[in-house]
Structure 1
Amino acid sequence: MNKYLLAAHSEFFEELFFGENAQPKPKIQIENVTDAVPHFERLIATMYPQNKELDAECVEGILELADRFLLDSVKNRCVQFLAKSSAKSAVFKLRVAEKYNLDAFKKHILENLTTDDFFGGSKYFDDFTELNKLGSELAKEFSERHKELFGIKNRN
């Protein structure tokens, strides 16, 4: 991998390779990331124009690394994939949008929720798990959208 290419895509790598405290052969520790090595390899491949396609299994891991290493172009590709190509549930997408501070994507998901998103069918248990991972503010927004879609009035 070309360090100039990495530096061109990321402030993190620019500082690592060319910053004040740059070392000739820096080592990068990737902790607390499941399957870090394959996800990092996929992350790098995603940066190239003739890149590998994203898939539902890798997108969150790649997004996590892109966020950590300040690779906005890769983050944007992940968001585009989630928005247009992923069969992941809206609740999953909301959680990911919240976790990685993708506010515009989060707003888009909330605005485009439909009644079908609240009856997950085969994804019900996955959605239930994802709902429990939402922050309290986002869970409240999700609940408000549910009430709006189903015509439920707030009790005063």
Structure 2
Amino acid sequence: MAEAMREAMPFNSALETGVRTLAILVEAYPSKYDIQRLLYFDYLVVHSRDANGPESLHPNIPLRNGELLVRRGVIERGLLLFISRGLVERQISTNGINYGASDEAGPFLDCLQTHYSQMLRQRAEWAISEFGMLDNDELRIYFDEHFERWTREFQAVKMPSEHLL
């Protein structure tokens, strides 16, 4: 039963993450991104305020830096879902595997008219305009510098005393 409930959760599911990734790839078109770059941009879209951007798409929970460590698998599942629907294209080269939006991806996103999907597209546009020109090393350096700040935030949360356990 718990497995069925987890499968039905829409947040941070393959579907939700796939839609976010698709929005990023549509904004970046015709560029193609690898998983690590998509991981960075997904974080920027969801927590844009952390990078001095617009209001974050999701609430800023105190331990959100841990998301960078667990998000990769969900992004991969979202990509596979949208590859199977012909909305994302996979390109394999000597440099690795990159993903790009197909010609049908933009029209598909245009069909999504919810407030959330509009905010998502705005955050994706912001993230690509602010960080899209950085190469992978520059993007990694940016995250390394800011991840240190997020790690300090993580360490500031105190664990309960042993006698309370």
Structure of higher CA gyration radius: 1
More strand by share: 2
TM-score tier by shorter-chain length is: under 0.3
TM-score, normalization: structure 1? 0.24
TM-score, normalization: structure 2? 0.23
> Relative contact order (C-alpha < 8 Å, sep 6+): which is higher?
2
